[in-house]
Amino acid sequence: MNTLPPLNEQAADDCAALCAEITDKIKQNNGFLPFVDYMNWALYAPKYGYYSGRNEKIGRYGDFATAPQLTDLFGKCLSQQIQQILPQTAGNIYEFGAGTGKLAVDIIQTLPENTWQNYYIIELSADLQQRQRDYIQQKIPQYAHKIKHLDRLPETFDGFVFGNEVLDAMPCEVVEKRKDGIYRMGVTNTPQGFDWASEKATGFLLEQAAFRLPESPTPYRTEINLQAEAFVRTLAERLNYGGMLWIDYGFDRKEYYHPQRTMGTLIGHYRHHTVGNPFVLTGQMDLTAHIDFSAIADAATSQDIDFIGYTTQAAFLLSCGITDFLADLGDTASETYIKTVAAVQKLLNPHEMGELFKCIAFGKNIDPDWVGFRNLDLSAKL
Ligand SMILES: C[S@@+](CC[C@H](N)C(=O)[O-])C[C@H]1O[C@@H](n2cnc3c(N)ncnc32)[C@H](O)[C@@H]1O
């Protein structure tokens, strides 16, 4: 904690206000708030939640960097994939959790003008919605009329649906297997602040934990993201014609619930530091957990939808021509080229984002041979 940059006065006040709200919730809940509810409030509480507040969040001056912030070649590659699928649908693009709006701008700037009809953004954070509108207005005012924010999921989709690092931002359950059974983890109030508490897991959560967690060792703590799974299931159900692509960090189930991963993947991000304790800097720190892609695949394919592919981010970007886009930059001695090479290396390097990040896709009533999934097929691992 000592090495973390301090909160400024406003942030400290907002953090205290949010902690007071959560303290009340814990009291109303007889001293135990499930972790999933704590995470939901810490990230999305109307005024003081991490994604609701005015804090910078994404990028160099925020708490974490995402692929679109590193280089516009990420968006260019995605546009290759979108361009292949879009003619088979009504030409609508749906981006979930559009962050700063940079990915939307990079994609639109790459797509030929007549290939898309509408670019819809579905964003929970009102603050980010405003930033997206401002960025779009500044960069591509000529297309602003074709870019619309939706405040809820459409009842049916026809188009290309996608999100980068959205599933990991959905509140997850934390469970712990002990010698005497499986527990649902939560938070309680102590004189020193919030702390972990637990109660016996029951119902669907118990069923899922018993199915997913390894026999041993104990104690074994991990996450289950039922909300992300329900979200993907709903979209799979509502998709009519088109495709759905999710990019995020995570693993197949065997690797996720590996016996050696005894403390799960839950982590906080604050000004480019990782923080292990989720109960500090509440509302000022991002909270996230990795994705169990086997569960995402199961959730989607429980509906009438085709599985398209599962691969690494590196393989996906290479298949979509990232090295050609790099070559298009020309002068290899220019500052732009040198900076872009560094960013591309980060996206592709197996020890950075290349292998930890995965791409998973589903389609309905469209050609299943997607350009991004031609190089490396990891679907047997799911
Ligand atoms: C880690 S950020 C990623 C932002 C952006 N996609 C990027 O790559 O920079 C997560 C984003 O997902 C949004 N989000 C989380 N749950 C969502 C949901 N159910 N619907 C729409 N957006 C959501 C957050 O508000 C935030 O914009």
Residue 307 has pLDDT above 80, yes or no: yes
368 residue type, one letter: P
Helix (H) or strand (E) holding 249: strand 239-251
Residue 125 has pLDDT above 70, yes or no: yes
Q: What is the CB < 6 Å shell around ligand 1? A: 51, 58, 66, 68, 96-99, 103, 122-125, 128, 164-166, 169-170, 231
Q: How far is the CA of 146 from the centre of ligand 1 (A)?
A: 21
Q: Which ligand 1 atom is nearest residue 168's CA?
A: 1
> How far apart are the C-alpha atoms of 166 and 151, rounded to whole Å?
16
> How far apart are the C-alpha atoms of 205 and 175, rounded to whole Å?
9
Buried (b) or exposed (e) across 54-91, using 16+ Cβ within 10 A? ebebbbeebbbbbbbbbbbbbbbbbbbbbbbbbebbeb
> How far apart are the C-alpha atoms of 200 and 335, rounded to whole Å?
57
Nearest CA to ligand 1 atom 10: 166
> How far apart are the C-alpha atoms of 130 and 132, rounded to whole Å?
5
First to last CA, the chain: 37
Enter the tokens of residue 227.
């909300």
What are the tens digits of pLDDT across the range 211-241?
Answer: 999 999 999 999 999 999 999 999 999 999 9
In the chain, count H helices and then E strands.
Answer: 13, 16
Query: DSSP label at 58?
Result: B
CA distances to 39, 44, 382 from 54, in Å: 18, 12, 38
Contact yes or no for 155/198 (Cβ under 8 A): no
pLDDT score for 154: 84
Nearest CA to ligand 1 atom 4: 99
Q: How far is the CA of 69 from the centre of ligand 1 (A)?
A: 14
- Average pLDDT for residues 51-73, to the nearest whole number? 91
Q: How far is the CA of 259 from the centre of ligand 1 (A)?
A: 30
To test the pocket of ligand 1, the residue of 73, 131, 166 to mutate (highest count of ligand atoms within 8 Å of its CB) is 166
Q: Which long-range contacts (CB under 8 A, 24 or more apart) does 23-28 make?
A: 23/189, 26/187, 26/188, 26/189, 26/194, 27/189
What are the tens digits of pLDDT across the range 26-46?
Answer: 999 999 999 999 999 999 999
pLDDT score for 2: 53
What are the residues whose beta carbons fall under 8 Å from the beta carbon of 78, sequence distance 6 or more? 103, 106, 107, 162, 245, 320
pLDDT averaged over the chain?
Answer: 96
Collapse the DSSP code of 215 into the 3-class scheme (helix H, G, I; strand E, B; otherwise coil) and give the result.
coil
- Average pLDDT for residues 142-160, to the nearest whole number? 93
pLDDT score for 3: 83
- Extents of the domains making up the chain: 9-377
Q: How far is the CA of 98 from the centre of ligand 1 (A)?
A: 6
Nearest CA to ligand 1 atom 24: 97
Q: What is the dihedral of CA 40, 44, 50, 55, to 10 degrees?
A: 170
Helix (H) or strand (E) holding 122: strand 118-122
To test the pocket of ligand 1, the residue of 40, 93, 124 to mutate (highest count of ligand atoms within 8 Å of its CB) is 124
pLDDT score for 87: 93
Nearest CA to ligand 1 atom 19: 124
Q: How far is the CA of 104 from the centre of ligand 1 (A)?
A: 13
What are the tens digits of pLDDT across the range 229-288?
Answer: 999 999 999 999 999 999 999 999 999 999 999 999 999 999 999 999 999 999 999 999
- Average pLDDT for residues 315-321, to the nearest whole number? 98
pLDDT score for 1: 47
> How far apart are the C-alpha atoms of 265 and 155, rounded to whole Å?
33
Class of domain 9-377: alpha beta
pLDDT score for 143: 97
Q: How far is the CA of 322 from the centre of ligand 1 (A)?
A: 24
Residue 359 has pLDDT above 90, yes or no: yes
> pTM, whole model, 2 decimals?
0.97
Q: How far is the CA of 370 from the centre of ligand 1 (A)?
A: 24
